[in-house]
Chain A
């Protein structure tokens, strides 16, 4: 995966059966919508079915005891209309970006209905509640 030191990992095509993990925090749960007003542009997931400590290490670079994780597949998200792409960073070669469905006037607004649709793509979690 990673090439020379300090470089970005090569972008992978994500098949529909690729499992994805979302990082969450005990008590706060999981994010299910974008907060555009504070600069959020995509939902971040991780390639693979990662343990809660593994996903915490990839996302936060720490191993906090409050870490949680839940799981989906690229295909489940696509079937719900979301766009899914591998988007590696220097700090996280397994980073995946999830974007809202595109409408006639650009990306659709990430409203409550879309948040519910996003949540329904996830099958189980390892602790934590679901943030509404």
Chain B
């Protein structure tokens, strides 16, 4: 199984590492890629804009794909593209979450998708965990400009938690 990717801050959210060789786009919103696969060498990752489609801040998930996952993606379409990989995955998956401001990554952290998780469960726990991680980062000794970005992201995420 491939390792989860380590995104580079400042990169575009749908091409989170500099060594991306190919991006296959499955969906877009307002012309911006929101779901697809990027490849570097023999390793493929699914990227998915989980939330934040109208404001400045967005949350992205990067999931390492096995050959079986890629075959499943080839055979599916529509909202079902995430079934078995993100939703109702037969096993726990180690992934990376990215937070973007104006589609550029400002924060990343490791996360895990629980086995057999339903749609609502993943969204809820992801938002809560990212909000907590941003709070932790704000309290760390990062430069003021970076903390300001984290606060903006945390405010956006907290607003979603409150909905």
Listed in ascending order, the chain A residues whose CB lies under 8 Å from chain B are: 2, 5-7, 23-31, 34-35, 37-44, 57-66, 89-93, 95, 97, 131
Contact = CB atoms under 8 A, between A and B. Distances in A.
A33 to B, nearest CB: 10
Contacts, number: 110
Interface of B: 12, 25-32, 34-35, 48-55, 73-79, 81-82, 102-103, 119-120, 122-123, 159-160, 163
Q: Name the prevailing secondary structure of the A interface residues.
A: loop
A37 B30 CA distance: 12
Q: Name the prevailing secondary structure of the B interface residues.
A: mixed
Contacts of B73: 6
A6 B51 contact: no
B160 A64 contact: yes
A5 B77 contact: yes
Closest 8 CB pairs of A and B: A91-B27, A41-B31, A66-B163, A90-B26, A28-B54, A28-B55, A40-B30, A91-B26
A47 B51 CA distance: 21
A64 B123 contact: yes
Nearest to A89: B27
B78 A93 contact: yes
Contacts of B78: 2, 58, 90-93
15 contacts: A5-B76, A24-B54, A28-B55, A30-B54, A35-B102, A39-B12, A40-B31, A44-B31, A60-B50, A63-B120, A63-B123, A90-B78, A91-B35, A91-B79, A92-B27
